[in-house]
A and B are shown apart, each in its own frame.
Chain A
Amino acid sequence: MTYAYRLRDTLPFDTPCGPSGLQSARDLMGYVTRGETMPKREDIKKILILGSGPIVIGQAAEFDYSGTQACKALRGAGYRVVLINSNPATIMTDPEIADRTYLEPLSEEFAIKVIERERPDALLPTLGGQTALNLAKGLFESGVLDRYGVELIGANYDAIQKGEDRQLFQQAMAKIGLNTPAGKLVDSLEEAFVFVETIGYPAIIRPSYTLGGSGGGVAYNEADFSRIVRQGLHDSPVHTVLIEQSVLGWKEYELEVMRDHNDTVVIICSIENVDPMGVHTGDSITVAPAQTLSDKEYQRLRDYAIMIIREIGVDTGGSNIQFAVNPHNGEVMVIEMNPRVSRSSALASKATGYPIAKIAALLAVGYHLDELPNDITKETKAAFEPSIDYVVTKLPRFAFEKFVSASDTLGTQMHSVGEVMAIGRTFKESLLKALRSLELDVRSETEGMSVSELESKLYPNPLRLPVMMELLRRGRSAQYLYEKTMVDLWFLAQLREIVQVEQEIRSLPDPTEWNWELWREIKRIGFSDGELARLTGTDDRELRRLRLKRGGAPVYKTVDTCAAEFEAYTPYHYSTYEWEDEVKTTLKERVVILGSGPNRIGQGVEFDYATVHAVWALRDAGFETIMVNSNPETVSTDYDTADRLYFEPLTFEDVLNIVDREKPIGIILQLGGQTPLKLAKALSEAGVPIWGTSAEAIHFAEDRDRFHQLCQELGVPQPRGTTAKSPAEAIDLAREIGYPMMVRPSYVLGGRAMMIVHSEAELEAYLEDVYSQLPERPSILLDEFLADAKEIDVDAISDGETTVVAGLMEHIEAAGIHSGDSACITPPASLGADVIDTIKRYSVLLAQAIGVRGLINIQFIVRGEQVFVIEANPRASRTIPYLSKAIGHPLAKYAALISAGRTLQELGFTETPIPDFYSVKEVVLPFLKFRDLLPVLGPEMRSTGESMGIAKDAYLAYYKAQEGANAPLPTHGNVLLIGEDLQELDREFTSLGFNVTRHPKSGATPEYQLLVDTAGTQELRRALEHGLPYLTSRQAAEWALKAIAAVKEKPLTIASVQELHANQQGSKNRETA
């Protein structure tokens, strides 16, 4: 054994030799806390943020949450923030959120105007979904960003390209040695067969450039393959199809990744899809964290995720990466990556407490993860990976009932319109909480089905989960379900345990004999009192009483990012049945505000807006605010919105538990839409102090007969109407009312099953086809339908003494179209002063008589000088955010303060404001997502979102609203007119320089720039699929015509909301002076 020499012999141990010795502990902490070295970018002063525009399927309220967080964070860091978003229903477009807010279309044309006017230093495109990313890409490609010296921050152009372009992405993955599903573009059947040999069956076929994915499919064998490829080659305008390796049935995972300029990468959350590959993740039941991966497998995905974010080159911020894992051998495929904040990021934020959007925004301006504090623990840093000690389940909420003829099969295209999230200590608990958060009675739907019916519903569809549970109840094995669905056996085992416990509960002695231990074991599985009542054949109120007698109240745990390793300061809680409760209460007076639950058609982000406003107003007024909600896509469920957040189902039991725990002095439920309103009666009976309009008044307005009586007493005219108990009676009574007539079942959910019938034959058809399909047999409401009349929406506010009409919104489309689907304008463009006065007078009378304390929405019909009231809803309506922005008054805040005892006088809101500009609201509709449906409006609401256009000129405002709704009107070219009596339109379009045709030509692509089809022909579907603007009513066509004329004459200018409202205040001051 020889060593040349020993260093130690020649060098005394204590010889100083380094530039520095070991630092002291204080020095070390200095590294952690050195604030002065924060590398925030000082060369940037003003940042442009792009929102995501109107809510559409696949791009919803989650971007309001992320955009709002980003604006707040960047302003907090000292930057000036400019925002463009055409969606008025959002919190982010509130004047207080950004320095300059442009409620303008998210189009290049308007973005250039904003950039020209504001000259921002940087553009942050990663927080407004695909819309923002696409717009930023366009602005980059057209050289606009370069010309105005605007730097793209967050994600650079190359990274966006690599993340979005399928081929570039596959190349990038191949470069780092990761697999993606093999795919090849082919233009012949022969070539397709050669390729499919290499990948095997099943194979996915995607025709190129067919919108809405038509013509594609999954082939399980040669025959299918040959048929689908042939069809695809035929359907594709360029006659090519993409053949892709199928990973159907593989386990699907998502990782949320954050990266900073220093190349620190952390994984915020792993998400496992209960529905395996083949169902869009937005439509899948998902669980956080991943449940069925060993550490070795999880760390491999983590390593891949880090490699991918580095290879794609996302500079900073959050990304979402999806993987497929073969359940039989662990083989991994990279499916896709979103180089931006996504719906899953919002879910991951809510699931872990880690504010992804906020941190992503700060990283984009140079901060490092290890320098930003973790708000929740205060002492630790944002550079860590959250560890959670609970399970989060997300369930999607669908709207197939609104699109009756559409197939309910779920696939690679997203169909859900909203989602719920629930937190429990186990998967079972969180799943059962999530199921009841959905507000759907899925249990009774499946209970009545036969085994063979149930077995036929095991393909991916919205009902699959309850069907699987029902089949387990009927004795089918988990293995059987696994073979049919490929849902991992672990999840199926959990479902089986739930079903087993159900059976055990049935065989238990009477609930009066249950001791606390038994209660706890049952409740911690996740069963609600309602479900237990069903299982034991008792009443849920009685069970509640028994349970509380045994001390069985839930405890509330904290979401803290660190599994209790550090002290948490965030008041973000969920319930469970265990030992220790962590909620810290104060001596302040508390108010509970109920949120709006899952988004659905008819109840969307507008209600989140209203409840968040209530929280802010009451917090400023000195109350401690408590938010309860179950929707992860919202600002209301951000942990710093309210003083305390309970992420809980909005059911009677769960809300009452919170009320018992918090003992608030008031609870506000008039701002969250139907979800909290449904609880009004029960909560009121349970002695909960309901603030604002009383539960009785709310139900009074819903009672048709009492409302009718009231209108008669007040002398407010209504269209003639009556109620029939049976179809036969309906036909008799209809003769008295006369046709056309509005017919609907007595309970109405967003206009479901509502129809206008023009003759007895049509009424009979309705009773036969629609009414007979309804599960129960409700009575039938018949109402005179006033054809060619105008419909007016009114939002008014009352403190009991004074009632102020906040605004009148004139519908563009004639009466008969659901108010949620009509475009409208405020102030009204065509109503005479007398009519306006009449409407205001009636509104005040109704509000006072009903006893409103807060907001009321009233719908009127105007024919000539005649005004009729059709319905009144004493609650916040979906027009509140739009109207608030149009008049510059935060109506939801006023309503909250009124319910706390303030008066309109004190609030300084005593007159109907008359803005000096017009605001038009236009809607967006999800027809493209539902194959073969005609995009025709009717009395059933189907829009998912809205845009707002603001201008001094009413028609320019309409023009902007159309562009904001992604249906920009052409100023020249060809117009196709289909329908009767359109000669006038024909002439006017011609005089504006359009080529007008009256008959559609068959061809691959439509040869027009605008379609007006009042007859509802198939041409509408074609226009929709080709992304061309179409108008389905004569009124809309007339407005479009005038808007096109206006835009040819007058310049399109822009103004920020802040300026508009300041002018508003200014002109008011001048008036009073």
Chain B
Amino acid sequence: MTLLNKPPAALILEDGTVYYGYAFGYVGTTVGEVVFNTAITGYQEILTDPSYHGQIVTMTYPHIGNYGVSVYDMESNKPFARGFIVREFSRVASNYRSNQGLQSFMEQHKIVGIEGIDTRALTRRLRTGGVVKGVIFHGRVDKALQEALSQKARNHEDIDGRDMTPEVTTSLPYARPTFRNSPRVVLIDFGIKHSIVYKLEQAGAEVIVVPAQTTPAQIMALNPFGLVLSNGPGDPGGPQYAHDTVWQLLGLLPTYGICMGHQLLGLAVGGRTYKLKHGHHGANTPVKNLVTGEVEITSQNHNYAVDVDSIPGHQFEATHINLNDGTLEGMAHLRYPVFSVQYHPEASPGPHDASYLFKRFIEEVNAFEGARAIPAVQGVSRL
């Protein structure tokens, strides 16, 4: 292979638009919802984030693969993104942490990639046209094949309304070993990122991860002092059983929702979610904490948002908003130590500005453990 004569590939969108590029990663064809992420670093965390299940990720930063792949940067046991679109994939990985090149990592995990396309043009297309399904195909495409592939994209099942959690959740509950006498929290896995577990442990909790479909009784039987609702892929309207679980557990335990966990909390109390035009995917979104007035730069990855106006009044207060578009980024229950954020305080990739939320949650957990009861709070002034 020479640099000027690389194996051809194409990205075909459901509307028939074709972007020609070059093949990298696993040789094959893939189909999924095309989204873009504006984070400059963190491609490995993005690929392995289960929230990207069913999606083809476009990186807006043009050089991807520069620092290779590290076993310490896995957000789950394997990549979940369906495909990877980059401007230029780096054949050389240069970093002492790197254990593997991106090419072999993608081959190993059967992730189809395309490089060399005008990712900025594609991003602008996604920004203005909204979320779209597409196919990455390795090989030359002629007119007929183009049509067939765009048909394939159109036929692909929509993410909206589907419950994708069974495809990503753990099949069995597991406890993370702990040597400390830490208060136990149950983390419901809707497509968990490992960093959430690490952050909880770091903040001082014993974490038991349970499958998404675990019932409230089963959860309470674990004798926890806190409940965490994880992130996860797809439409939060899909896993309806989860709305029920959250509703039943509401008020029983200090509760902390992250990303999809936040949306599930909103839905559980009777709110509504809606799909954003192109979602928020990146590591530079300013969020204002309305309680403290501070601004934090956050890591984001969501296509759906909780409709602020739909939450039944006098239960929740908005605690965080997105400074870019004013969407809801966080809320807290007015009486219970129950709060959630739309963004990713566990970062990975992204800034650590919001890691205080883990500490806050563990404070609530500790208080609850001490009191053996949920303390009633006035407002959400401590968040």
Picked from A385, A426, A565, A579, the residue with its CB within 8 Å of the CB of B121 is A579
What is the CB-to-nearest-CB distance from A257 to chain B, in angstroms, rounded to a whole number? 12
Bound complex: CA A518 to CA B87 (Å): 17
**Interface hits, A572-610 → B, CB 8 Å:** 578-580, 582
- B251's partner among A8, A31, A263 (CB-CB below 8 A) is A8
A292 touching B95 in the complex, CB below 8 Å, given contacts A13-B315, A263-B294, A386-B284: yes
Interface residue? B72 (CB, 8 A): yes
Asked whether any CB of chain A lies closer than 8 Å to the CB of B92, the reply is: yes
A292 to B40, CA, bound (A): 11
Stretch of A496-504, A543-551, A611-619, A785-793 that contacts chain B: A496-504
Q: B66 touching A490 by the CB < 8 A rule?
A: yes
Nearest residue (CB) in A for B92 is A493
Near B by CB (< 8 A), chain A positions 351-381 give 369-370, 379-381
Instruction: List which A248-284 residues lie within 8 A (CB) of chain B.
Output: 262-264, 266-267
When chains A and B are docked, how far (Å) is the Cα of A14 from the Cα of B223? Answer: 28
Asked if A298 CB lies within 8 Å of chain B CBs, one says yes
- Beta-carbon contact of A7 and B295 below 8 Å: no
A582 to B121, CA, bound (A): 9
Q: Which partner residue on chain A sits nearest B380 by CB separation?
A: A18
Asked if B323 contacts A563 (CB within 8 A), the reply is no
Q: Does chain A have a CB within 8 A of B366? A: no
Contact of B349 among A295, A389, A518 (CB under 8 A): A295
Complex interface: stretch among B205-213, B230-238, B369-377: B369-377
A469–chain B nearest beta-carbon distance, Å: 16
A387 at the B interface (CB under 8 A) = yes
Nearest residue (CB) in B for A330 is B96
Contacts of B123 in A (CB 8 A): 389, 563-565
B62 at the interface (CB under 8 A from A): yes
Given contacts A23-B318, A490-B90, A563-B60, contact A330 B3 (CB under 8 A): no
In the complex the two chains form, is A500's CB within 8 Å of B3's CB?
yes
**Also in contact, A391 and B62, with CB within 8 A (given A28-B326, A295-B41, A564-B127):** yes
**Cross-chain contact A564 with B66 (CB below 8 angstroms):** no
Interface residues of B in 307-332 (CB under 8 A from A): 307-309, 311-318, 321, 323-328, 331
**CB within 8 A of B60: which of A303, A385, A389?**
A389
The answer to whether residues A292 and B121 also contact, given A262-B293, A387-B39, A387-B60 and a CB cut-off of 8 A, is: no
B181 CB–A CB distance under 8 Å: no
Are A23 and B308 in touch, CB under 8 angstroms?
A: yes
User: From residue A957, how far is it (CB to closest CB) to chain B in Å?
Assistant: 50
Instruction: Kindly list chain B residues whose C-beta atoms are within 8 Å of the C-beta of A1.
Output: 220-221, 223
Give which listed residue, B60, B351, B373, contacts A5 with CB less than 8 A: B373
Whether, in the assembled complex, A92 has its beta carbon less than 8 Å from a beta carbon of chain B, the answer is: no
Q: Is the CB of A7 within 8 A of B334?
A: no
Interface string of B91-126 (1 = CB under 8 A from A): 111111100000000000000000000111101100
Cβ–Cβ < 8 Å partners of A493 in chain B: 90-92, 94
Structural contact, B72 and A296, CB atoms closer than 8 A:
yes
Contacts of A525 in B (CB 8 A): 3
Main secondary structure of the interface of B (DSSP, over half): loop
A565 to B90, CA, bound (A): 24
Whether B61 contacts A7 by the Cβ 8 Å rule is: no
Report the bound CA distance from A490 to B72 in whole Å. 21
Report the Cα distance A384→B286, complex, angstroms. Answer: 5
Task: Let me know if A31 and B290 touch, CB within 8 A.
Answer: yes
Partner of B334 from A17, A28, A302 at Cβ < 8 Å = A17
Q: Provided the pairs A22-B313, A384-B297 are in contact, do residues A7 and B335 lie with their beta carbons within 8 angstroms?
A: yes
Expressed in whole angstroms, the Cα–Cα distance for A369 and B192 within the complex equals 33
Q: Determine if A6 and B3 form an interchain contact, defined as CB atoms under 8 angstroms apart.
A: no
Contacts of B351 in A (CB 8 A): 299, 302, 385
CB-nearest residue of chain B to A20: B317
CA distance A19 to B42 in the complex (A): 41
- B347 on the A face (CB < 8 A): yes
Among candidates A13, A263, A292, A387, residue contacting B66 with C-beta atoms closer than 8 Å:
A292
Shortest Cβ gap from A388 to chain B (Å): 7
Minimum CB–CB distance for A1066 against chain B, Å: 51
Contacting A at CB under 8 A, from B271-315, are 282-286, 288, 290, 293-295, 297, 307-309, 311-315
Residues of A within 8 A of B293 (CB): 262
User: Which residue of B94, B96, B313 has the most chain A CB atoms within 10 A of its CB atom?
Assistant: B94
Q: Is the CB of A11 within 8 A of B94?
A: no
- The answer to whether residues A383 and B97 also contact, given A518-B4, A563-B123 and a CB cut-off of 8 A, is no
A32-B321 in contact given A22-B313, A369-B295, A390-B62 (Cβ < 8 Å) = yes
Contacts of A18 in B (CB 8 A): 314, 317, 334-335, 378-379
Residue A488, interface by CB 8 Å? yes
Whether A564 touches B40, Cβ cut-off 8 Å, given contacts A14-B314, A17-B335, A370-B295, is no
A266 to B221, alpha carbons, bound, how many Å? 44
Is A198 interfacial (CB-CB < 8 Å)? Answer: no
Give the docked Cα–Cα distance between A566 and B373 (Å): 46
Are the CB atoms of A292 and B120 closer together than 8 Å?
A: no
In the assembled complex, how far is the CB of residue A979 from the closest CB belonging to chain B, in whole angstroms? 59
> Given that A4-B372, A23-B318 are contacting pairs, would A328 and B94 also be in contact in the complex, using a CB cutoff of 8 Å?
no
Residues of A close to B44: CB separation below 8 A: 294-295
Check B38–A522 contact: CB distance below 8 A.
Answer: no
- For the complex formed, measure the closest distance between the CB of A460 and the CB atoms of chain B, giving whole angstroms: 20
Contact A264 B376 (CB under 8 A): no
Q: Is the CB of B297 within 8 A of A294?
A: no
**B156 near A: Cβ within 8 Å?**
no
| Complex interface: chain A residues within 8 A of B2 (CB) | 500, 504
Bound-complex Cα distance A580 to B125 (A): 10
Quick check: B311 and A22 within 8 Å, CB to CB? yes
A293 an interface residue at 8 Å Cβ cutoff? yes
Q: Is A15 an interface residue (CB 8 A)?
A: yes
A291 at the B interface (CB under 8 A) = yes
Q: Mark B193-215, 1 if CB is under 8 A from A, else 0.
A: 00000000000000000000000
Are the C-beta atoms of A565 and B38 separated by less than 8 Å?
Answer: yes
Are B95 and A381 touching (Cβ within 8 A)?
Answer: no
Please name all residues of chain A whose beta carbon is closer than 8 Å to the beta carbon of B347 when the two chains form the complex: 299
CB distance A7 to B374 under 8 Å?
Answer: yes
Which among A330, A490, A563, A578 is the interface contact of B97 at CB below 8 angstroms?
A330
From residue B226, how far is it (CB to closest CB) to chain A in Å?
13
B127 touches A299 (CB 8 A): no
Q: Which residues of B contact A5 (CB under 8 A)?
A: 373
CA distance A385 to B297 in the complex (A): 7
Which positions 1-41 of chain A face chain B at CB distance < 8 Å? Answer: 1, 3-8, 11, 13-25, 28-29, 31-32
* Cβ-defined contact, B308 with A24, below 8 A: yes
Within 8 A of B (CB), among A838-890: none
B120 in complex: contacting residue of A266, A497, A564, CB < 8 Å: A564
Please measure, in the bound complex, the distance between the C-alpha atom of A112 and the C-alpha atom of B91, giving whole angstroms.
Answer: 60
Is the beta-carbon distance between A387 and B61 smaller than 8 angstroms? Answer: yes
Give min CB distance, B377 to chain A, whole Å.
10
Distance of A1005 Cα from B247 Cα, bound (Å): 83
A418 at the interface (CB under 8 A from B): no
Say whether B348 contacts A295, CB under 8 Å. Answer: yes
Give the complex CA separation of A373 and B373 in angstroms: 46
Kindly list chain A residues whose C-beta atoms are within 8 Å of the C-beta of B290: 31
**In the bound complex, what is the Cα–Cα distance between A426 and B63 (angstroms)?**
7
Q: Chain A residues with Cβ under 8 A from B88's Cβ?
A: 425-426
**Interface readout for A941-980 with B: 1 if CB under 8 Å, 0 if not?**
0000000000000000000000000000000000000000
With A21-B314, A21-B317, A327-B96 already in contact, 11 other A-B pairs whose C-beta atoms are closer than 8 Å: A4-B373, A17-B335, A18-B335, A22-B331, A266-B286, A391-B62, A426-B88, A490-B92, A521-B3, A564-B36, A566-B324
The 3 closest A-B pairs by CB, nearest first: A8-B251, A295-B42, A580-B121
- Provide 9 A-B residue pairs closer than 8 Å at the C-beta atoms, listed in order of the A residue: A22-B315, A32-B321, A292-B95, A297-B67, A299-B347, A370-B286, A564-B123, A565-B36, A565-B282
Q: Which residues of B contact A (CB under 8 A)?
A: 2-4, 19, 36, 38-42, 44-45, 60-63, 66-67, 70, 72-73, 87-88, 90-97, 118-121, 123-124, 127, 220-221, 223, 250-252, 282-286, 288, 290, 293-295, 297, 307-309, 311-318, 321, 323-328, 331, 334-336, 347-352, 371-374, 376, 378-379
